[in-house]
Amino acid sequence: MTKEALECSFCGKQKSDTNLLIAGLGAHICDLCIEQAHGIVLEESKHKNQDANSDLMLKKPREIKAFLDAYVIGQDQTKKVMAVAVYNHYKRLQQPTSKDAIEIQKSNIIMVGETGTGKTLMAKTIAKMLNVPLAIVDATVMTEAGYVGEDVESMLTRLLQAADYDQEKAERGIVFIDEIDKIARKSDNPSITRDVSGEGVQQALLKLLEGTVVNVPPKGGRKHPDQKFVEINTENILFIAGGAFDGIERHISKRMNMAAIGYKSAQEGPAIDSKNLLQYITPKDLKDFGLIPEIIGRLPVLTHMNPLDTATLRAILTEPKNAIVKQYIKLFEMDRIELSFEEDALDFIVQKAVEYKLGARGLRSLCEEILTDAMFSLPGSEQTSLSVDKTYAEAQLGRSGLKQLKAVS
């Protein structure tokens, strides 16, 4: 082959039409074909990785709890319940077909706990460990079919999007329904108006939680006749519901006959922790709060989140892998500033969080108030270090509006 007649053996382009022509044993390839081949290799390797990930590497409950311990502080009982429920669910998906024809049904979970105690974080952490798609949906925006608001099927649209529209992957995912207490039945009294955002949503969720084939609009929105649907089978989707259930303590104390005075209060019995009544919660309390019995039966695993005490909040500040203090140190590092917190400053932040009843989310609010001035003035200055002590923290909080906060008891 003469120099003038050189051409790409793949696309047939002459050497003059290419930027680069690489010679091989009896063949040539141009730079454009190399780029195309590289794209094909990347695409194929991506599919292979997805196929490898589809074989779920399930850890034992102790390993799941150990993984949760690295991200979530405290809540040991809830971690055990979640680890067992998730392990049994995905073990059920991997069970080989047997002759005894025993079909293991799934156990959905409902978590009850005050705001900021880590319900959503728990679900996110488990999904991260299992490498399964997770959709976090808000129950407050849902209404019964035909009314203004989102249909309950929209949560499956979110799951489909989280799985990059891989239907098979979505059907093994996790749906976390947040604020489920907000769709409680408003009252037991019959009314001429329909409870479309309360009991109506609960009724619409029943078949979804149990397991059925649902027509899901892939891009969300309302259903209409000309729309294309994706059929999603919810039988293998794990549903985790969470809610604050504010006021459910009244139902618990009423059931436990917690009389303040009188003969019953004088009777001997096991000591009851009145500061953490959620630990005594039963399905009956959920029914009294306003959840219908059918939906309680489809969420058989009931667990609670303990309120955060001083020691837990102190640990949340510094111990987890993604601790708040570590995040701010990393943030200052990016500007080449060394940030450090004195022990008395950390204790002061925790004390204020408890005083204001802000919970774990409040720790970030307090840190922002304390560090805002430093984050404004230090980048670009000659200062290379900042040590936050109690005096500095008090001075910064004293100038902010947070000092006006008073906890409502």
Q: pLDDT, tens digit, for every residue of 20-42?
A: 888 888 889 999 999 999 988 88
Distance CA 18, CA 27 (A): 15
174 bridge partner residues = 134, 238
pLDDT at 349: 92
Q: Which residue has the tokens 């004390």?
A: 351
Is 70 exceeded by the pLDDT of residue 65? Answer: yes
pLDDT at 329: 94
pLDDT band at 330 (very low <50, low <70, confident <90, very high): very high
pLDDT band at 53 (very low <50, low <70, confident <90, very high): very low
Q: pLDDT, tens digit, for every residue of 227-247?
A: 788 889 999 999 999 998 988
More confidently predicted of 191 and 116 = 116
- Which phi and psi (to 5°) does residue 174 adopt? -125, 135
Distance CA 290, CA 71 (A): 33
Assigned token pair, 106: 């799934």
136 bridge partner residues = 176
Q: pLDDT, tens digit, for every residue of 193-219?
A: 556 667 888 888 998 998 899 888 877
233 bridge partner residues = 213
Q: What is the chain's alpha carbon radius of gyration, rounded to the nearest angstrom?
A: 28
Distance CA 291, CA 283 (A): 9
Nearest to 218 by CA among 168, 161, 176, 267: 161
Q: pLDDT, tens digit, for every residue of 122-153?
A: 888 888 888 888 899 988 887 766 566 677 88
Q: Classify 25 as helix, strand or coil.
A: coil
pLDDT at 203: 86
150 bridge partner residues = 142
User: Residues, the chain, total?
Assistant: 409
Of the ranges 85-99, 148-162, 312-326, the best mean pLDDT one: 312-326
List, in sequence order, the alpha helices (H) in 211-309. 248-255, 263-266, 283-289, 293-297
How would you classify the pairing of strands 385-388 and 109-112?
A: unpaired
pLDDT band at 308 (very low <50, low <70, confident <90, very high): confident
**pLDDT > 70: percent of the chain:** 83
pLDDT band at 189 (very low <50, low <70, confident <90, very high): low
pLDDT at 148: 60
Q: Give me the chain's average pLDDT, please.
A: 83
Is 60 exceeded by the pLDDT of residue 266? Answer: no
Our CA dihedral for 303, 306, 312, 317, rounded to 10 degrees, sits at 70
pLDDT at 192: 46
Residue 97 DSSP label:
P
Q: pLDDT, tens digit, for every residue of 337-347?
A: 999 999 999 99
Distance CA 216, CA 230 (A): 5
Our CA dihedral for 87, 92, 98, 101, rounded to 10 degrees, sits at 130
Q: pLDDT, tens digit, for every residue of 166-182?
A: 888 899 888 999 989 88
pLDDT band at 268 (very low <50, low <70, confident <90, very high): low
Is 80 exceeded by the pLDDT of residue 98? Answer: no
pLDDT band at 408 (very low <50, low <70, confident <90, very high): very low
Is 50 exceeded by the pLDDT of residue 95? Answer: yes
Assigned token pair, 49: 């990785």
Across the range 371-378, mean pLDDT stands at 93
pLDDT band at 409 (very low <50, low <70, confident <90, very high): very low
Residue 321 DSSP label:
T
Assigned token pair, 272: 């009851």
Across the range 49-77, mean pLDDT stands at 78
Across the range 281-293, mean pLDDT stands at 91
Distance CA 403, CA 386 (A): 23
